[in-house]
């Protein structure tokens, strides 16, 4: 949930974050390694917890991620012995030794294993194999440092799983990680290098499901950078249980605001405050052709005289007190209040969506929720 300042919500101060219902806010704050890699001494000398240093509630749990999922990472800089991260001053080469020193200094509740996640759909098979090999090597070194040096650390590790789009390499990574961690208790796993598609392809869903099937059922599985509601539901149906809010950050950066209606659970199924629903259509291959309306661009001139809320059914501070026209005006004059108001709405809406998902007990109900979500948000009339 961080952008330019580690441990804070982008665009929001502690005061403006208070406009969001506390019951919606998660207990965990993600702190990307690039923002703190050079400041291990600061954490060691500070008389208090890392959450207090970030001016957050002392009860907030800190999670160190290797990369910042809300910002693009330059490619081609990882080596056999180090992972490249980037702060405002440029590249920092992180070795397992330097990484574990930062983790020990911060004392987070959770931290990711060091990994080479610099692969995508264009990567060659040789590069993907190298990514997995380096990831396994980094993991082994981190565990050795933890065990041999007897670090004063009570943090929980989540293992990054690499393999890109290759099912063969992804499953090899899973198999080796499970073997390596038999005597080293890890808290969970993170699936890295997945595509950021609105609706995941059947191939990717099958890949995620295969990976999750091989992982221990009692360990949570996380996927970051994803936030489109249909993508989230696809991943949940495949076995993923944890997501981050980087999608909210990037949506807000582009002046877009979420407007999809969130179904709520009733005695007979799911319903929304909208009465009109639009049926989905199928193409010749049997795939659903979804005209899903997720957000609107508040920078568009069409909102210059829109004197109603971003979303009429939303109860956030922004929708209760301000109109689309006002926010459009703020964007036009480059007023810093614009991203603040959009962030309050987007974060409130996103967290409300997940609050509803937490109450869904089965995959059958999750599928019903998905169908209702598509039907009620396939209309362009807002």
d(CA 51, CA 58): 6
CB 157 within 8 A of CB 112: yes
Output the pLDDT for position 277.
40
What's the distance, Cα to Cα, between the start and end of the chain in Å?
29
- Which residues make Cβ contacts (< 8 Å) with residue 378, sequence separation at least 6? 277, 278, 279, 280, 290, 291, 292, 293
| Phi, psi angle pair for 6, to nearest 5° | -60, 140
SS (H, E, C) 162-195: CCCCCHHHHHHHHHHHHHHCCCCCCCEEEECCCC
Burial grade of 9 (CB within 10 A; 0-12, 13-18, 19 or more) = buried
Query: pTM value?
Result: 0.91
Q: Tell the residue number behind the tokens 């829109």, with chain if given.
A: 306
Output the pLDDT for position 120.
87
Q: What is the pLDDT along the chain (382 residues), one digit of tens a residue?
A: 333 455 678 999 889 999 999 999 999 999 999 999 999 999 989 988 888 888 788 889 999 999 999 988 999 999 999 999 999 889 999 999 999 999 999 999 999 999 999 998 889 999 999 999 999 999 999 999 988 876 667 889 999 999 988 999 999 999 999 999 998 989 999 999 887 767 788 999 999 999 999 999 999 999 999 999 999 999 999 999 999 999 999 999 999 999 999 998 887 788 887 644 433 443 434 344 568 999 999 999 999 999 999 999 999 999 999 999 999 999 999 999 999 999 999 999 999 999 999 999 899 999 999 999 998 998 644 4
Q: Tell the residue number behind the tokens 């405050």, with chain if given.
A: 273
CB 159 within 8 A of CB 190: yes
Helix ranges (H only) for 185-323 are 202-214, 229-238, 246-253, 317-321
Chain CA centroid to CA 351, Å: 12
d(CA 209, CA 58): 37
In this structure, the strands spanning 270-271 and 281-282 are unpaired
Query: And the tokens for 368?
Result: 């019903």
CB 100 within 8 A of CB 146: yes
How is the chain split into domains, by residue range? 14-252, 257-376
- Which residues make Cβ contacts (< 8 Å) with residue 149, sequence separation at least 6? none
d(CA 346, CA 1): 13
d(CA 84, CA 86): 7
- Which residues make Cβ contacts (< 8 Å) with residue 245, sequence separation at least 6? 1, 227, 347, 350, 351
Output the pLDDT for position 367.
93
Query: And the tokens for 240?
Result: 């993923």
d(CA 131, CA 42): 32
Which listed CATH number (3.40.50.410, 3.50.50.60, 3.80.10.10, 3.20.20.105) goes with 14-252? Answer: 3.20.20.105
Burial grade of 303 (CB within 10 A; 0-12, 13-18, 19 or more) = buried
DSSP string computed for 3-56: SSSTTS-TT--HHHHTTS-TTTS-SEEEEEHHHHTT-HHHHHH-SS-HHHHTTS
Query: And the tokens for 331?
Result: 């964007």
d(CA 356, CA 121): 33
Output the pLDDT for position 2.
35
């Amino acid at each position: 949930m961080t952008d330019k300042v580690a441990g804070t919500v982008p665009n929001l101060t502690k005061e403006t974050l208070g406009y969001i219902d506390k019951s919606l806010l998660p207990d965990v704050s993600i702190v990307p390694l690039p923002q703190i890699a050079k400041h291990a001494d600061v954490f060691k000398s500070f008389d208090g917890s890392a959450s207090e240093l970030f001016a957050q509630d002392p009860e907030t749990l800190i999670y160190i991620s290797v990369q910042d999922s809300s910002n693009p990472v330059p490619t081609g800089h990882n080596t056999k012995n180090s992972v490249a991260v980037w702060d405002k001053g440029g590249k920092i080469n992180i070795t397992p030794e330097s990484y574990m020193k930062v983790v020990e200094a911060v004392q987070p509740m959770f931290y990711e294993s060091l990994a080479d996640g610099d692969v995508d759909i264009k990567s060659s098979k040789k590069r993907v194999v190298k990514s997995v090999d380096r990831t396994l090597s980094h993991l082994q070194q981190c565990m050795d440092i933890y065990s041999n040096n007897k670090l004063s650390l009570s943090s929980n590790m989540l293992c990054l799983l690499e393999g890109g789009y290759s099912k063969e390499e992804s499953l090899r990574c899973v198999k080796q990680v499970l073997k390596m961690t038999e005597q080293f208790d890890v808290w969970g796993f993170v699936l890295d290098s997945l595509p950021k598609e609105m609706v995941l392809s059947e191939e990717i869903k099958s890949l995620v499901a295969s990976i999750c099937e091989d992982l221990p059922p009692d360990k949570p599985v996380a996927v970051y950078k994803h936030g489109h509601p249909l993508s989230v539901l696809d991943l949940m149906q495949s076995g993923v249980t944890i997501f981050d809010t980087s999608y909210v950050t990037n949506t807000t950066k582009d002046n877009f605001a979420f407007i999809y209606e969130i179904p709520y659970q009733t005695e007979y199924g799911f319903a929304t405050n909208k009465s009109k629903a639009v049926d989905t259509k199928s193409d010749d291959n049997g795939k659903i052709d979804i005209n899903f309306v997720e957000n609107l661009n508040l920078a568009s001139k069409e909102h210059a005289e829109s004197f109603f809320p971003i979303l009429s059914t939303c109860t956030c501070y922004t929708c209760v007190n301000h109109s689309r026209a006002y926010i459009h005006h703020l964007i036009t004059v480059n007023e810093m209040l614009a991203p603040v108001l959009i962030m309050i709405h987007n974060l409130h809406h996103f967290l409300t969506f997940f609050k509803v998902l937490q109450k869904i007990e089965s995959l059958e109900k999750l599928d019903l929720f998905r169908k209702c979500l598509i039907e009620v948000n396939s209309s362009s009339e807002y």
